[in-house]
Amino acid sequence: MLPLRDIILRLTVAAVLGAIIGIERDLRRRPAGMRTSLFVCLATALFTILSDEIAHLFGDTGSTRIASNIVQGIGFLGAGAILKEAGGRVGMTTAATIFVEAAIGMAAGGGLFAVAAYTVALVLFGLVCLGWLAHRFNLKCRPIVFRVTTSQADSVATEVQRLMAHLKVPMQHFRVSMAGGNSIVEFESVVTHSQQEKIVHQLNRQGVITEVMALEGFHE
């Protein structure tokens, strides 16, 4: 049986480490902020401790039975962070963060403080440093709605299809409609910032207006 002092220490470490990750999520205004992250780490640490303590109490040799089910259970929480809204993906990074938070909580609950702390450092490196690099070098893709207004819909629609095929970027919801005397070609695509600029530069010319709109509800 673990002394109460050790149990409190493990739970405290798990809560602190979870809160550290949650602060980054709150600063970026993402779901699953400080409180959620704290609770995930705290809960998984407590389950890990209880799994071992209850097994010893009742003489059960399967001391990791409860802890092993954490991996399955945390998947439901992560799935709740992945939503469909306005055609965009929401919470993919948040769901992955929740998953690794559970592992951090289990490590702290098992007394592996150095492992848990190092994992938190790696998570922050991924969220902060790699996130900055992706933004700096335009590596991150996001869903964009392109709207091309022209009086020559047929030629522009064909040009759009050829351009996107050349860039090897798939399109969704491709449609052509009328607005007064003009035709409007609209489509959605997941592109990088540089790809977006190429598309606009290629399509824009005399008599053709290209507008771009980011889909709402797209977050990490």
CATH classification of the domain holding 210: 3.30.70.260
Count Cα atoms within 13 angstroms, Cβ side, for 15.
9
Q: What pLDDT shows up at residue 38?
A: 97
Q: What pLDDT shows up at residue 216?
A: 55
Judgement on whether residues 93 and 202 belong to the same structural domain of the protein: no
Count Cα atoms within 13 angstroms, Cβ side, for 65.
8
Judgement on whether residues 51 and 97 belong to the same structural domain of the protein: yes
Q: What token pair was written down for 206? A: 């005399």
Q: Which of 87, 111, 136 is the last residue of a domain?
A: 136
The boundaries of the domain holding residue 148 are 142-214
Count Cα atoms within 13 angstroms, Cβ side, for 77.
22
Q: Which of 103, 136, 169 is the last residue of a domain?
A: 136
Query: Mean pLDDT of residues grouped by 10 in the chain (220 residues)?
Result: 94 97 90 92 94 81 70 76 52 87 95 97 95 78 88 82 92 87 89 87 88 68
Q: What pLDDT shows up at residue 11?
A: 97
Q: Which of 119, 136, 153 is the last residue of a domain?
A: 136
Judgement on whether residues 105 and 151 belong to the same structural domain of the protein: no
Judgement on whether residues 193 and 128 belong to the same structural domain of the protein: no
Residue 109 lies in a domain: yes
Q: How many C-beta atoms lie closer than 10 Å to residue 211's C-beta?
A: 13
Q: What pLDDT shows up at residue 64?
A: 65
Judgement on whether residues 116 and 146 belong to the same structural domain of the protein: no
Residue 94 lies in a domain: yes
Judgement on whether residues 163 and 132 belong to the same structural domain of the protein: no
Residue 220 lies in a domain: no
Q: What pLDDT shows up at residue 58?
A: 79
Q: What pLDDT shows up at residue 90?
A: 56
Count of the separate structural domains present in the chain: 2
Judgement on whether residues 146 and 55 belong to the same structural domain of the protein: no
Which is nearest to 188 in space by CA: 167, 205, 166, 164? 164
Judgement on whether residues 113 and 180 belong to the same structural domain of the protein: no
Residue 19 lies in a domain: yes
Q: What pLDDT shows up at residue 141?
A: 78
Q: What pLDDT shows up at residue 51?
A: 87
Q: What pLDDT shows up at residue 84?
A: 46
Q: What pLDDT shows up at residue 43?
A: 94
